[in-house]
Amino acid sequence: MEERKTVVVTGATRGIGRAIVEKFAKEGVNVAFTYNSNEKLAEEIARDLEERYGIKARAYRLNILKLEEFKPLFEAIDQDFDRVDYFVSNAMIYGRSVVGGYGKFMKLRPMKGLLNIYIATVGAFVSGSQEAVKRMKKVGGGAIVTLSSTGNLVYIDNYAGHGTNKAAVEAMSRYASTELGEFNIRVNAVSGGPIETDALRAFTNYQEVKEETIKRSALNRMGTPDDIAGAVYFLCSDEAGWITGQTLIVDGGTTFK
Ligand SMILES: NC(=O)c1ccc[n+]([C@@H]2O[C@H](COP(=O)([O-])OP(=O)(O)OC[C@H]3O[C@@H](n4cnc5c(N)ncnc54)[C@H](OP(=O)(O)O)[C@@H]3O)[C@@H](O)[C@H]2O)c1
């Protein structure tokens, strides 16, 4: 029997990350995922995935504002899993750590929240991918996906800090794809429109964003975490074998309208 592949996903206790680990587990992929504060929930998710899908699932603590934690994280994953095939850079900070980064342009504080968003978005993608690539090389290749958002293409209130860093991480993923192709490693981004999650519910103008999204969507509804998970899985699968350095926009048609 062919050895099961392994995906590493950051921030999978809730929202999009939770849907991503569900999708990979359902497809028979072993899952190593991280949490920041919700340890109990993370352990429950791991147990539940193992029971329902017969795969191996383990949860690890990671704070993406402490990039030095990526090395020990992957060393811990090495103890539990034989291989790493896919890496999904998904986790995102919120609350106090984004103060000075989530807000109007004139209120941005470059060395506070804005810098934190850079570390959590571009920094975490770079540090996580570097560790993942070392393992992917040993198994002859792999795939990396970073989460982005259409807030780097269209104006969203208070989103300048996040939107600009999503643009940066998309560009970084194209650089990575160009340099990692020779190792049979593909790198892509999935850029989501507004998706119904805790992160979105934390927006000060959540209700307005929701109504506007439904109005703008050609499909007349909000996006769900499953909508994003399917695209992430596709980009990691063999079906996407010649797709690299791309951003797949999953927005229900909201960006064009
Ligand atoms: N929601 C949207 O509308 C939308 C649209 C497009 C793109 N995205 C992107 O999709 C990704 C996931 O977003 P989401 O809406 O699913 O977020 P979410 O529901 O708020 O979940 C965030 C996840 O990140 C973890 N996390 C929080 N702070 C962390 C930290 N300091 N270090 C490590 N992990 C941390 C959380 O773990 P704990 O539960 O343990 O705290 C949780 O698992 C993000 O990159 C986001 O920008 C979201």
CA of 243 to the centre of ligand 1 (A): 25
CA of 118 to the centre of ligand 1 (A): 14
Cα-based angle 137, 134, 56 (whole degrees, multiple of 5): 85
**Would you state the pLDDT for residue 199?**
87
Contact call for residues 73 and 60 (beta carbons, < 8 A): yes
Q: How many residues does the chain have?
A: 257
Contact call for residues 31 and 57 (beta carbons, < 8 A): yes
The string of pLDDT tens digits covering residues 9-59 is: 999 999 999 999 999 999 999 999 999 999 999 999 999 999 999 999 999
Residue 124 has pLDDT above 70, yes or no: yes
Handedness of CA 15, 65, 203, 152 (dihedral sign): negative
When computed from its CA atoms, the radius of gyration of the chain, rounded to whole angstroms, is: 17
Using a pLDDT cut of 90, give the percent of the chain over it.
95
The string of pLDDT tens digits covering residues 65-96 is: 999 999 999 999 999 999 999 999 999 999 99
Question: Is the CB of 179 inside a 6 Å radius of any atom of ligand 1?
Answer: no
Contact call for residues 194 and 252 (beta carbons, < 8 A): no
Question: Mean pLDDT in the chain?
Answer: 97
Handedness of CA 131, 34, 83, 140 (dihedral sign): negative
CA of 12 to the centre of ligand 1 (A): 8
Residue 146 has pLDDT above 70, yes or no: yes
Q: How far apart are CA 66 and CA 73, in angstroms?
A: 11
Give the residue, by CA position, lying nearest to ligand 1 atom 33. 63
152 secondary structure, DSSP code: G
Residues tagged active-site: 159, 166
Half-sphere exposure of 109 (CA within 13 A, CB side): 8
What are the residues whose beta carbons fall under 8 Å from the beta carbon of 33, sequence distance 6 or more? 8, 9, 10, 11, 12, 17, 21, 42, 45, 46, 57, 58, 59, 60
245 secondary structure, DSSP code: S
Question: Is the CB of 108 inside a 6 Å radius of any atom of ligand 1?
Answer: no
Q: What is the mean pLDDT of residues 123-131?
A: 99
- Confidence category of residue 148, pLDDT binned at 50, 70, 90: very high
Question: Is the CB of 192 inside a 6 Å radius of any atom of ligand 1?
Answer: yes
Question: Is the CB of 16 inside a 6 Å radius of any atom of ligand 1?
Answer: yes
Question: Is the CB of 231 inside a 6 Å radius of any atom of ligand 1?
Answer: no
Q: In 3-state terms, what secondary structure has residue 90? A: coil
The string of pLDDT tens digits covering residues 40-53 is: 999 999 999 999 99
CA of 140 to the centre of ligand 1 (A): 30
**Per the structure block, which two tokens stand in for 178?**
């160009």
Question: Is the CB of 121 inside a 6 Å radius of any atom of ligand 1?
Answer: no
CA of 200 to the centre of ligand 1 (A): 10
Residue 136 has pLDDT above 90, yes or no: yes
If one residue of 9, 10, 36, 159 were mutated to test the ligand 1 pocket, choosing by the most ligand atoms within 8 A of its CB, it would be 36
88 secondary structure, DSSP code: E
- Confidence category of residue 190, pLDDT binned at 50, 70, 90: very high
**Would you state the pLDDT for residue 35?**
98
Structural domains of the chain ordered from first start: 6-250 (3.40.50.720)
What percent helix, strand, coil does the chain show, rounded to 5? Answer: 50, 15, 30
Residue 1 has pLDDT above 90, yes or no: no
